[in-house]
Amino acid sequence: MKKTKVVVGLGVIILLFYCGFYFKDRVGISEDKINAKQAETVSWNAQDYQTISASDNKSLYVGVMYMKDYSDAKYFIYVKRGGLYFGWHFLQSGGLTEIDGIRVFDCGKYGTAYVAMNKDNIVSRIEFEDGREASVMENIKGPICERSNTAVHFYDALGNVIEPTTRWTLRQ
């Protein structure tokens, strides 16, 4: 009987700590739920859009939801904070009004997110300098959603460098 009271008491204490962390926005969501959570923010029919995402599983998650006909798109960025934070935490989202052009989001210590709709397949090759096994991606078709802690270079089919059209530094 005494053991049961101790176990129940510990369970209540753990539950109170969890609630405290949750209400202080210290408990984020799991990676496998991010896309579904973002899908709740749009009124699109599920069969009309696609979602792509990139994550390093450590600190930065970037995703793009876009209509299959490229008529509308939205990006979203989540970070995994250190310390007594658990899960992924929302950092920023927004609409992608320009169909082409590369957008760069400097997320500070979390890294950099790169987003491009690439509707006309302008970007055909991406080179990474962050030590990935596949340091070059070729024959890019459709939207681009990448993250990196180092430089990323974009090229067209002729090998010309494509400079990002916009750069944002995000507040943390």
Each residue's pLDDT tens digit, 123-156: 888 888 876 655 667 778 888 888 888 888 899 8
Does a structural domain hold residue 125? Answer: yes
Per the CB < 8 A criterion, the answer to whether 100 and 120 are in contact is yes
Which tokens in the block code for residue 153? 């270079």
Phi, psi dihedral angles at 110 (to 5 degrees): -85, -20
The total domain count for the chain is: 1
Does a structural domain hold residue 18? Answer: no
Does a structural domain hold residue 17? Answer: no
Strand partners, 90: 78
Q: Bigger pLDDT: 11 or 76?
A: 76
Q: Among candidates 58, 52, 142, which has minimal Cα distance to 107?
A: 58
Task: Report d(CA 7, CA 58) in Å as an integer.
Answer: 34
Task: Report d(CA 92, CA 172) in Å as an integer.
Answer: 10
Task: Report d(CA 86, CA 133) in Å as an integer.
Answer: 29
The answer to whether the Cα torsion of 43, 46, 49, 53 is positive or negative is positive
Calculate mean pLDDT across residues 102-111: 89
Find the domain containing 53 and state its range. Answer: 29-169
Q: With a cut of 60, say whether residue 12 has pLDDT above it.
A: no
Does a structural domain hold residue 6? Answer: no
pTM (2 d.p.): 0.77
pLDDT at 6: 64
- Residue 82 confidence class, pLDDT cut points 50, 70, 90: confident
pLDDT digits (tens, 9 = 90+) for 13-30: 665 555 444 443 456 888
Task: Report d(CA 153, CA 148) in Å as an integer.
Answer: 11
Q: Among candidates 110, 93, 98, which has minimal Cα distance to 34?
A: 93
Does a structural domain hold residue 138? Answer: yes
